Amino acid sequence: MKTRMRKLQIEEMGRLTVEEFKESEKFPFVIVLDNIRSLANIGSFFRTADAFRAQKIILCGYTQSPPHREITRSAIGAELSVDWEKNDSAEDAVKLLKAQGYEVWCVEQAEGSVMLQNFAPNMEKPCAFVFGNEVEGVADNVIAAADGCLEIPQFGTKHSFNVSVSAGIVLWEFVSKKIT
């Protein structure tokens, strides 16, 4: 017998206010965006960062920062809850994060990459995940500065996901390991 289901109303979801989110404990990871050109993708990153309680997003290179109408359109307000900072260089951001004790992973198809299902983050260290430009990917100098690359398995004819879709997949994989 099928259990009766109904969609929850917004009031039933127990969502945090922006103030409660700001004060809440975050999962130990940051997101680094390396020259993301699409404002819709940037907004999607904010929304995903909010959903998974990221510590912050670091917007690098020509990645646009809030406030911007097109970012807000896809972030639907998450740009107000998630902390962010701007850095001219993703390579500099990676070096700084490593100096602060982060394990830094680029999400990229590369020689020696770790397939996502085999990813075993160091539970003693926070992580940073670098996502690259929609066409060029993560820059080579950024990959060289990082601890490694994570690759999402794919089984179709295309060789890539939309960058913000990749974020949802990778960040859920990380957070799911932290909550179990």
pLDDT of residue 159: 87
CATH superfamily name and code, 19-179: SPOUT methyltransferase, trefoil knot domain (3.40.1280.10)
**Angstrom distance (rounded) from CA 42 to CA 22:** 20
Q: What is the dihedral sign for C-alpha 39, 43, 45, 46?
A: positive
pLDDT over 70 for what percent of the chain? 100
Q: pLDDT band for 88, please (50, 70, 90 cuts).
A: very high
Domain locations in the chain as residue ranges: 19-179
- The pLDDT mean for the chain works out to 96
For residue 50, the model assigns a pLDDT of: 98
Query: Residues 33, 45: contact at Cβ < 8 Å?
Result: yes
Inform me whether the pLDDT recorded for 1 exceeds 90.
Answer: no
pLDDT one-digit tens code per residue, 100-134: 999 999 999 999 999 999 999 998 999 999 999 99
Q: Are 128 and 97 in contact (CB under 8 A)?
A: yes
SS3 content of the chain, % helix, strand, coil (to 5): 40, 20, 45
* Partners of residue 129 on adjacent β-strands: 31, 105
State the pLDDT at residue 96. 98
pLDDT one-digit tens code per residue, 9-49: 988 998 999 999 999 999 999 999 999 999 999 999 999 99
Confidence of residue 178 (pLDDT cuts 50, 70, 90): confident
- Global pTM reads 0.95
Average pLDDT rounded to a whole number, residues 66-85: 97
**Position 2 confidence tier, pLDDT thresholds 50, 70, 90:** confident
